[in-house]
Structure 1
């Protein structure tokens, strides 16, 4: 029997136009993560075939990446590199390995703040954003495993834990979107260096980074710390759900005029909760993840006039500082001002990942629940 959601994903990948005209970018990497998750969960060749077709259009015979410039030092560009590792492991084709090596070289020289974590981008100096923790760290851990350099894996975990310390907002139990070590940005608090509000998708990127690193790393004292931080974050996220099981754009301000249930963050949290349950971090997490997934299906997925399913209420993009002639000040009002983009891959990719986790839950017995 046909599954409408899987049919939607298949049609989406079939018709997908590269987000930035074919240049290597994190948005395409979101789709690659979704396709890998679906392939791992189902074993169906269609997901792998979509992945290989799309990545092959961006990697030449010498392992060079379309439109990629290492010295831009954009941490976002690292995320799609996880697909290169997957394809190299499946095919043995050295061009994927060479392309992954290129991204690893970026990380070798990528600027860092004094405490250790990478700058978000060269054009955003001395800044750590939660987005970047997902973009760079799981690739670093996967690549470290690929080339038998475990220090890369532990460095990724150290960077994550340091970033959590730097961005933590103890009063709310959440993490702020950005941190400026120099306190030069007008969005940065003069004392803490933190941006002023809690954006749901920034926390979604963070939750996915945390659960993916927990999955990749061997047991250690710092991994126990990661588990504790993840559990504490999940406890706060559980309390911040809407009545229908989603999360708001400005996640902790339900009375804020114009606030809305945002689909990309909800999909990210659904994935993170479901994967955490599969990894044995708490089976109660599965019900939260499934509830979010089902709420998206019921409230945010609708059929358009052409008869195609479309995912709605996705924030197109949000950031901090100057961009496109606008200064993004990180206030709640700013996050609510950003445009919505139906079927944006930053929502559809994580939805694929959440659905893949729900399939794996049906097929696999969960691990023993952590105490």
Structure 2
């Protein structure tokens, strides 16, 4: 019996020691696990910085914003970097400036030639990244950035037009004006004319031409019943997507209307106070704001096809909602819109945060339910039908949403 006890005691001690060691090991493992989740984006920052830092983490090279595998001069980096410039101006954080500079530095050579850009394509989308140069040139005085701006302005001076003076959206889309084009080209054109065209006659001509684009979109694309604007207008009425009587596309697309709203509030930053076009654009903006508010969902968000509500396949979409939020918030702050539209903007912003923003354990912020892309015509052919708009890919963190979300966050100081 004594021998049995002698054998059991060491075994029991060993078992206790082993159990304790396992327990300690597990506790140590837990400590190690929590340390491996690095907080990349601090949660005590405002949403504008949190989203901008998240974008930099997702796309360390600014030239590859928009999920690109190669550097590209295109409108989406220009949109996010315009937002980044505003964050930089608020924070004076060198990281944001360096991110913007990297884009222009990579794509513009010593002669001012823009890599991957072709003036001969006459594509309005390519003008948007000119805003990056308008930000950088006064700070750097690098001649190559000025030359690149001059190239973009030269494109606008030679852009093909409809019979009444409306810019074609692209050379490959003849006779067509799209809502998108006003945001892509007009803020740059107005800003460039104000600061870099040293001929009062030429400057005035550009201002008049810019205002004309808004006049024509209102004339051709606005639906008198709802106040909403159709995505595209084909003067020739030859496109399959075009109404044979009006030339308009079939539907009111959320982001198309979003582009147009942002175009109005941004152009007004540069159009002189005494230019008669200002009052017209402010009038258009007020009509627009009423029409957009009428189709806002109870959640505060807006639908992909604006006036189709809960129709099967439709969804509450992030990019258009972010753009409307920015447009209303800025419009009120600048005195273009009545105070009541700030309530609309705040409701929309709350809707975004509650429904479409998610935050990862490491602090990275995501904007979900973004329509990836939508257009008209082309190959494969985009027919502008309800089914077309609701079946285009949906993804998170599309720059056409993150950029306006950052700008809306700044306007609302959230």
Q: Provide the TM-score with structure 1 as the length reference.
A: 0.92
Task: Give the corresponding residue for 2:13.
Answer: none
Task: Give the corresponding residue for 1:295.
Answer: 351
Task: Give the corresponding residue for 2:153.
Answer: 104
Unaligned runs of 5+ in 2: 1-42, 198-202
Higher mean C-alpha deviation, range 335-344 or range 280-289: 280-289
Higher mean C-alpha deviation, range 312-321 or range 146-155: 146-155
Task: Give the corresponding residue for 1:263.
Answer: 318
CA distance in 2, matches of 1:10, 1:225: 38
Asked if the contact 1:144–1:151 (Cα under 8 Å) also holds between the matched residues in 2, the reply is no
TM superposition shift of 1:215: 2.2
CA distance in 2, matches of 1:170, 1:25: 34
CA distance in 2, matches of 1:313, 1:90: 37
- CA RMSD of the aligned region, Å? 1.7
Task: Give the corresponding residue for 1:27.
Answer: 76
Query: Which consecutive segments of 4 or more residues in structure 1 shift more than 6 A?
Result: none
CA distance in 2, matches of 1:2, 1:153: 43
CA distance in 2, matches of 1:70, 1:223: 30
CA distance in 2, matches of 1:12, 1:316: 16
CA shift in 2, pair 1:251/1:333, >3 Å = same
Asked if the contact 2:51–2:402 (Cα under 8 Å) also holds between the matched residues in 1, the reply is no
CA distance in 1, matches of 2:51, 2:192: 32
CA distance in 2, matches of 1:331, 1:261: 18
CA distance in 2, matches of 1:272, 1:57: 31
Asked if the contact 2:51–2:406 (Cα under 8 Å) also holds between the matched residues in 1, the reply is no
Task: Give the corresponding residue for 2:239.
Answer: 185
Is 1:7 matched with 2:56?
no
CA distance in 2, matches of 1:217, 1:49: 29
CA shift in 2, pair 1:101/1:14, >3 Å = farther
Secondary structure of 2:371's aligned partner: coil
Is 1:206 matched with 2:260?
yes
Asked if the contact 1:41–1:357 (Cα under 8 Å) also holds between the matched residues in 2, the reply is no
**Aligned ranges 1:1-371 → 2 under 5 Å:** 2-3=44-45, 5=47, 6-16=49-59, 17=61, 18=64, 19=66, 20=68, 21-148=70-197, 149-219=203-273, 220-281=275-336, 282-304=338-360, 308-323=364-379, 325=380, 327-359=381-413
Secondary structure of 1:266's aligned partner: helix
CA distance in 2, matches of 1:135, 1:204: 12
Asked if the contact 1:302–1:309 (Cα under 8 Å) also holds between the matched residues in 2, the reply is yes
CA distance in 2, matches of 1:175, 1:99: 33
Secondary structure of 1:211's aligned partner: helix
Secondary structure of 2:353's aligned partner: helix
TM superposition shift of 1:305: 7.1
Higher mean C-alpha deviation, range 16-25 or range 331-340: 16-25
CA distance in 2, matches of 1:308, 1:3: 12
Which of 1 and 2 has greater Rg?
A: 2
TM superposition shift of 1:48: 2.1
CA distance in 2, matches of 1:41, 1:151: 34
CA distance in 1, matches of 2:384, 2:361: 36
CA distance in 1, matches of 2:145, 2:340: 39
Q: 1:5-27 CA distances to partner (integer Å, 9 max, x unpaired)?
A: 32332131244151342120011
TM superposition shift of 1:329: 1.2
CA distance in 1, matches of 2:74, 2:258: 19
Asked if the contact 1:37–1:353 (Cα under 8 Å) also holds between the matched residues in 2, the reply is yes
CA distance in 1, matches of 2:155, 2:352: 37
Between the two proteins, the alignment pairs up a number of residues equal to: 358
CA distance in 2, matches of 1:42, 1:276: 23
CA distance in 2, matches of 1:262, 1:8: 18
Asked if the contact 1:14–1:50 (Cα under 8 Å) also holds between the matched residues in 2, the reply is no
Q: Provide the TM-score with structure 2 as the length reference.
A: 0.83
